[in-house]
Amino acid sequence: MIGKSVIRKEAWDKVTGRAKYTHDKLQQGMLHAHLVTSPYAHALIHEIHFEKALSVPGVRAVVTGKGLPLTGEDLRDRPPIAFDKVRYHGEVVAIVVADTPIQAEKGANLVQIVYEPLPTVGSPRAALQADAPLIHENLGSYEKNDHTYPEPNTNIAHRTKIRKGNMEKGWSESEVVIETSVAFSPSDHLAMETRCATAEIFPDGRIEITASTQSPFMIKKLISTYFGEDVGKVVVHTPLVGGGYGGKAPVQLELLAYLASKAVRGRKVSVWNTREQDMITSPVHIGMEATVKLGCTKDGMIKAAEILFLFDGGAYSDKAIDVTRAAAVDCTGPYRIENVWCDSLCIYTNHPYASPFRSFGHCEQAFAIERAMDILAEKLGMDKLELRLKNAILPGHTTPTRVLLNRSNVGNLPACIKRLRELIQWDQWQRIELNARTVRAKGVSCSWKTSTIDTEASSGAIVTFNPDGSVNLMSGVVEIGTGSKTVLAQILAGKLKMDIDDIHVKMDIDTQSTPEHWKTVASRGTFMGGRAVLNAAEDAIRQLKAIAACVLRSPIEDLEVGYGKVFVRDDPAIFIPIKDIAYGYKYPNGNAIGGQIIGRGNYTLRHLTPLDKETGAGKPGPEWTVCAHAVEIEFDKRDCTYQILKAVSVVDVGEVLNWKAAIGQIIGAMSMGLSFASRETFLFDRYERVLNPQIRTYQPIRFGEHPEYIADFIKTPQIDAPYGARGAGEHGLIGIPAALANALSIAAGVPLNKLPLFPEQIWRAQKGK
Amino acid sequence: MVSFDFTYHRPSSIEEAVQLFASLQRQGKTPIYYSGGTEIITLSRLNLVFADAVIDIKHIPECQSFDISQNQLVLGTALTLTAIEETNAFPLLAKAASEIADRTARNQITLGGNICGQIFYRETVLPLLLVDSDIVIAGKSGVQQRPIHEVFQQSIQLQPGEFLVQVKMNAAYLTMPHVHMKRRKQGKVGYPLVTVSALKKGNELRTAFSGVCPFPFRSPKVEEMLNARHLPIDARIDYALQQLPEPILDDIEGSAEYRLFVLKNTLWDILTELEEAER
């Protein structure tokens, strides 16, 4: 069962077009919302006139931001609907609710708003200038949690500090020092399904939300926290989700749907993003500027790292704070460095606000570090993989936040590098000139990631039995397209020693009946959800054995469960089929004992701690997955154009639970990394308005443009994970942008430190422009 | 979502279409001719196009014509780009069509729609300019055939109520040496940084451009310079680029200076390819 390429449980529904997503669930009598959004990136709102909108037939209400509480997960800085002023292009200023989507849109077109444009802030470095306009004047008075440190009267929403070792010592031991800066603007996730939600408020106060989200349980909690609703009265439903990539981790449209429903006396209201709105109104992929300084001995042992991450969190901090903290936690990349100074800042700009993006701050962090590693190797005249191998982090070393690594909580980076080296034939060639114009080059990188999630985050699972002995599995992990629910079924099938076809997976989430899984983020579905499933299975096994012990007149400890039976260990001929006890047991005379078997389990990550404010010391996550990546390109020296020929990721996943699903995750992640690095970016005008919020002009990589992908695995088990499996949903992506930039830098003979790598960008770098 | 209501009309003859347009206009409506509909649909959901009546001309037989005789090729304007590409009657046009948008869109976009579109690249026009084609236009005063150079100046010059029925060209052009090069910001799909179509009629090189200025064009002055065969190629290109009708485009696809760089290289490639073929 473990490792088999089981076809995902929802596959048949998906390939026949029968799978239902949030926006497919239209209902008679449902109202529709249209969002009125800001054409300015920074402006005062003087007046909002919506009388004309209200006069459109079918328009029921116009909701504005007046009197609403501020929201935000770590720092409450965001009005759900802008009031007083707008801080990014695309920000919601009003919601028009009507009988049909068209009426709502017509109404929205008639809402008149008087703005007074303000000077804008267009990059993190600009935001730090002494004379930069303040985006949040009241930063000092916002509510926040204990581990968020805004700096009032600046544009800094949060700063994470890492102070490890002794920098003076590190620099004094360094014989070779390099410094480099990198940058990229915000971009988007472009999930196929745009974000959407519905809300309905019932006369008894029950609030039913249906949302395309990675965080159904967080929606429930936040609606309670923000609006004072009883948490038990908020019920969130999440059907299949058409891609999340972190963009559906934040809670945004759900709040709007709730507010809109409230404005029409609780009627059901649907809020649904057009593609254009989804790209800029809802949270985006974070931008970053960074400077990395590395020092090492002549033989390449890194002694010191000074790292400054300036993240473009956009207009509101929300999840961006957490993303910038995650980048700090793993700031050095997977290398043993004793002396580390890192400041990671979440900075306000007048850009769309940021959310997690697959790998949660790591592909960003890795781009900075891995460019620096290549530049260091060049200065040393050392082989690029050799330098990485030499400094590879190993059991016995400590992370930047001083977690001591052991054979379980970190994967085997040298093994990943070794395998990569073979797969890309590194030792045969690294750069070859095919002719006067064409050159091929290979770029490499390494990466790692732990999952920085709340220290008390937990996951739950329930298994119930059917009369035929088959099992129902309910877990709070959302099926966002990763096949996680199928992997959980495999884990359960393995534990119960039963056929995967006899495990029925509940796909939809209903927060009232589905046990909670904190959020479907951070590649934690398999680990936390899997542990919860194993616990639930143990619980069910205990119950099955208890009944079987009576029926078989045997001590419980002599019984085993498997193959549809409970049997006596040393004499399997004595058994009872599970179907005969799944609902209790009925004796021949009609007496009955027991009842339906309901197994329950949960799991909370253990021993996690918040980071120390001054030094960053703390245990942010349970384990580190490590990876090695390579990208091979063919570069046209005259035109500065290129083809991506091959992308390779070797990931130490601990154990592969579903081979094809794992390969699919790694390849999918690589393609996202290549797309981000080669072509995805928002383009802003000088007033910080987004010029390309359309797939027409914001073009992701397309079918037919993909290179050859190679995904491979190393298996160093994480001892306390289900079957030793580590997180793998994001890792194929982390080092890919850096590997592409490294390959092109080698080919073009000029450092390429800005993404995305459009040929024009390379041409400019060569011209020194 | 398209936020305005419109009536849909499907005439089966040219006369019916023209009359419909006139009568809808008399009723105070804003009619629009409709063929593939890709631009009307995508721009109207952004409120960049408005019409309260659409007249679908795809079902008019003349608009679907595809006739090739010894002397002449006739293409109906309602032929899809995919059809133009697959029938390959005019290889240069087929190549130009095949590089527009993506396959799904090309199954829908029509030749006439691409010529008349608001989105200014209109790359199928380039081969049509090179072969001095004629355009058959229907309108109030009946059906008339006019040279493309007369009716296409930066964009199609039509009177209200007129629509394109066919494109006709001399068959002798179809087999002449030609090159079509589209250079994009990145990838294999999308708008051009620059697109250049070139055709050689005997010793005369003809070129037409898209993406260089916010309209497609063919320029006698540019061609004169490119044909100054006594000069080396790079000098001819430099002189030709001084004759562009407008300053080079500077937008989100690429800056003006980068476009110029790409255009120079593209012209170099085209001249070398066509002139090397002579040897």
At A454, the pLDDT band (50, 70, 90 cuts) reads: confident
pLDDT at A428: 97
Query: Which residue of A lies nearest to B260 if distances are taken between CA atoms?
Result: A760
> What is the count of residue pairs from A and B with beta carbons less than 8 Å apart?
52
Q: Which of residues 703-742 of A touch B (CB under 8 A)?
A: 704-705
A497, A383: one domain: no
Q: Which chain B residues are within 8 Å of A683, Cβ to Cβ?
A: 252
Q: Rounded to whole angstroms, how far apart are CA atoms B202 and B222? A: 18
Considering only the beta carbons, identify the residue of B3, B261, B265 that sits closest to A105. Answer: B3
A384, A346: one domain: yes
E strands, A124-189, are 156-164, 176-184
Strand order in the sheet with A571-577: A559-562, A565-568, A571-577
For residue A139, tell me if it sits in a domain.
no
Q: Which residues of B touch A (CB under 8 A)?
A: 1, 3, 42, 45-47, 102, 183, 185-191, 252-255, 258, 261-262, 265
- Give the CA distances from residue A164 to residues A96, A332, A337, A620, in Å, rounded to whole numbers and listed in that order: 52, 11, 9, 15
Q: Which chain A residues are within 8 Å of B185, Cβ to Cβ?
A: 679, 758-760
For residue A148, tell me if it sits in a domain.
no
Domain boundary among A559, A582, A604: A604
The reply to whether residue B1 touches residue A105, judged by beta carbons under 8 angstroms, is: yes
SS3 label, residue A305: strand
For residue range A29-57, list pLDDT tens digits in order.
999 999 999 999 999 999 999 999 999 99
Mean pLDDT of A407-414: 96
Is cis: bond before A756, omega within 30 of 0?
yes
CATH number of the domain where residue A51 is located: 3.90.1170.50
A55, A100: one domain: yes
Q: Which of B92, B269, B276 is nearest to B183 (CA)?
A: B269
Domain boundary among A272, A303, A320: A272
DSSP string for A243-298? --TTTTSS--HHHHHHHHHHHTTT--EEEE--HHHHHHTS-EEPEEEEEEEEEE-T
CA distance B28 to chain A (A): 21
Say whether residue A106 is in contact with chain B using an 8 A CB cutoff.
yes
Query: Which residue of B lies nearest to A700 if distances are taken between CA atoms?
Result: B187
Q: Which two tokens stand for residue A146?
A: 């204990």
Considering only the beta carbons, identify the residue of B1, B46, B102 that sits closest to A102. Answer: B1
At B276, the pLDDT band (50, 70, 90 cuts) reads: confident
Considering only the beta carbons, identify the residue of B1, B47, B254 that sits closest to A101. Answer: B1
A436, A539: one domain: no
Q: Which chain B residues are within 8 Å of A679, Cβ to Cβ?
A: 185-187
CA distance A754 to chain B (A): 15
Strand A503-505, strand A471-475: pairing: parallel
For residue A140, tell me if it sits in a domain.
no
Q: Rounded to the nearest 5°, which phi and psi values hold at A193?
A: -90, 120
Q: Rounded to the nearest 5°, which phi and psi values hold at A392?
A: -55, 140
Which residue in A758, A762, A769 has the most chain B C-beta atoms within 10 A of its own C-beta, making it the best mutation to test that interface?
A: A758
- Angle between helical axes of A759-767 and B256-276 (0-180°, round to 10): 100
CA distance B163 to chain A (A): 27
Q: Rounded to whole angstroms, how far apart are CA atoms A654 and A609? A: 24
Q: Which chain B residues are within 8 Å of A756, Cβ to Cβ?
A: 186
Q: Rounded to whole angstroms, how far apart are CA atoms A729 and A716? A: 17
Say whether residue A683 is in contact with chain B using an 8 A CB cutoff.
yes
Domains and CATH numbers, chain B: 7-56 (3.30.43), 61-172 (3.30.465.10), 176-276 (3.30.390.50)
Say which residues have a Cβ less than 8 Å from residue A653's Cβ, sequence separation at least 6. Answer: A411, A625, A662, A713, A714, A715, A725, A726, A728, A731
pTM of the model: 0.97
Mean pLDDT of A248-268: 98
Own/partner pairs, A585-592, CB within 8 angstroms, 24+ separation: A585/A547, A585/A550, A585/A551
For residue A408, tell me if it sits in a domain.
yes
CA distance A695 to chain B (A): 10
For residue range A153-172, list pLDDT tens digits in order.
999 999 999 999 999 999 99
Q: Which chain B residues are within 8 Å of A101, Cβ to Cβ?
A: 1
Residue B279 has pLDDT above 70, yes or no: no
Considering only the beta carbons, identify the residue of A106, A692, A699 that sits closest to B187. Answer: A699
CA distance B184 to chain A (A): 9
Q: Rounded to whole angstroms, how far apart are CA atoms B105 and B86? A: 15
Q: To the nearest whole percent, how much of chain B has pLDDT over 70?
A: 100
Q: Rounded to whole angstroms, how far apart are CA atoms A28 and A750? A: 60
Considering only the beta carbons, identify the residue of B187, B254, B258 that sits closest to A705. Answer: B187
Residue A728 has pLDDT above 90, yes or no: no
Q: Which chain A residues are within 8 Å of B102, Cβ to Cβ?
A: 702
CA distance A751 to chain B (A): 19
Residue A680 has pLDDT above 70, yes or no: yes
Say whether residue A225 is in contact with chain B using an 8 A CB cutoff.
no
Q: Rounded to whole angstroms, how far apart are CA atoms B66 and B73? A: 8
In A272-404, alpha helices (H)? 275-280, 320-329, 362-380, 384-390
Q: Which chain B residues are within 8 Å of A744, Cβ to Cβ?
A: none
- Give the CA distances from residue A570 to residues A548, A552, A554, A581, in Å, rounded to whole numbers and listed in that order: 15, 13, 12, 21
For residue range A618-672, list pLDDT tens digits in order.
999 999 999 999 999 999 999 999 999 999 999 999 999 999 999 999 999 999 9
The reply to whether residue B252 touches residue A758, judged by beta carbons under 8 angstroms, is: no
Which residue in A635, A760, A761, A763 has the most chain B C-beta atoms within 10 A of its own C-beta, making it the best mutation to test that interface?
A: A760
CB B158 within 8 A of CB B32: no
DSSP string for A437-500? SEEEEEEEEEEEE-----TT-EEEEEEEE-TTS-EEEEES---SSS-HHHHHHHHHHHHHT--G
A111, A230: one domain: yes
Say whether residue A459 is in contact with chain B using an 8 A CB cutoff.
no
Q: Which chain B residues are within 8 Å of A760, Cβ to Cβ?
A: 185, 254-255, 258
A700, A757: one domain: yes
Mean pLDDT of A740-763: 98
For residue range A114-164, list pLDDT tens digits in order.
999 999 999 999 999 999 999 999 999 999 999 999 999 999 999 999 999
Q: Rounded to whole angstroms, how far apart are CA atoms A138 and A155? A: 11
Provide the residue range defining the domain that includes A583. 458-604
The reply to whether residue A102 touches residue B47, judged by beta carbons under 8 angstroms, is: no
For residue A279, tell me if it sits in a domain.
no
Q: Which chain B residues are within 8 Å of A276, Cβ to Cβ?
A: 46
For residue range A557-589, list pLDDT tens digits in order.
999 999 999 999 999 999 999 999 999 999 999
Mean pLDDT of A737-757: 98
A316, A428: one domain: yes
Could you say which DSSP state residue A30 is in? -
Mean pLDDT of A706-724: 95
A465, A425: one domain: no
CA distance B164 to chain A (A): 26
Q: Rounded to whole angstroms, how far apart are CA atoms A331 and A362? A: 8
CATH number of the domain where residue A488 is located: 3.30.365.10
Strand order in the sheet with A431-433: A431-433, A438-449, A625-636, A642-652, A708-714
The domain tally of chain A equals 3
The reply to whether residue A109 touches residue B186, judged by beta carbons under 8 angstroms, is: no
For residue A719, tell me if it sits in a domain.
yes
Query: Which residue of A lies nearest to B47 if distances are taken between CA atoms?
Result: A109
SS3 label, residue A663: helix
CB B219 within 8 A of CB B198: no
Secondary structure in 3-state letters for A518-573 = CCCCCCCHHHHHHHHHHHHHHHHHHHHHHHHHHHHCCCHHHEEEECCEEEECCEEE
Q: Rounded to whole angstroms, how far apart are CA atoms A296 and A332? A: 13
At A310, the pLDDT band (50, 70, 90 cuts) reads: very high
CB A346 within 8 A of CB A362: no
A589, A735: one domain: no
SS3 label, residue B216: strand
Domain boundary among A252, A272, A292: A272
A254, A386: one domain: no
Mean pLDDT of A404-423: 97
A294, A443: one domain: yes
Residue A717 has pLDDT above 80, yes or no: yes
Considering only the beta carbons, identify the residue of B3, B191, B258 that sits closest to A760. Answer: B258
pLDDT at A465: 97
For residue A187, tell me if it sits in a domain.
no
Q: In this structure, which amino acid lies at residue A646? A: K
Q: Which two tokens stand for residue A397?
A: 């070393």
At A606, the pLDDT band (50, 70, 90 cuts) reads: confident
A241, A111: one domain: yes
Say whether residue A102 is in contact with chain B using an 8 A CB cutoff.
yes
Which of the two residues, A727 and A80, has the higher pLDDT score? A80
Q: Which two tokens stand for residue B215?
A: 């309209």
At A727, the pLDDT band (50, 70, 90 cuts) reads: confident
Query: Which residue of B lies nearest to A100 if distances are taken between CA atoms?
Result: B3
E strands, A132-286, are 156-164, 176-184, 196-201, 207-211, 234-238, 269-272, 284-285
Mean pLDDT of B70-95: 97
Strand A642-652, strand A625-636: pairing: antiparallel
For residue range A319-340, list pLDDT tens digits in order.
999 999 999 999 999 999 999 9
Q: Which chain A residues are within 8 Å of B45, Cβ to Cβ?
A: 274
Query: Which residue of B lies nearest to A757 if distances are taken between CA atoms?
Result: B186
What is the rounded average pLDDT for all residues in chain A? 96
For residue A665, tell me if it sits in a domain.
yes
Predicted-assembly ipTM surpassing the 0.90 threshold: yes
Say whether residue A758 is in contact with chain B using an 8 A CB cutoff.
yes
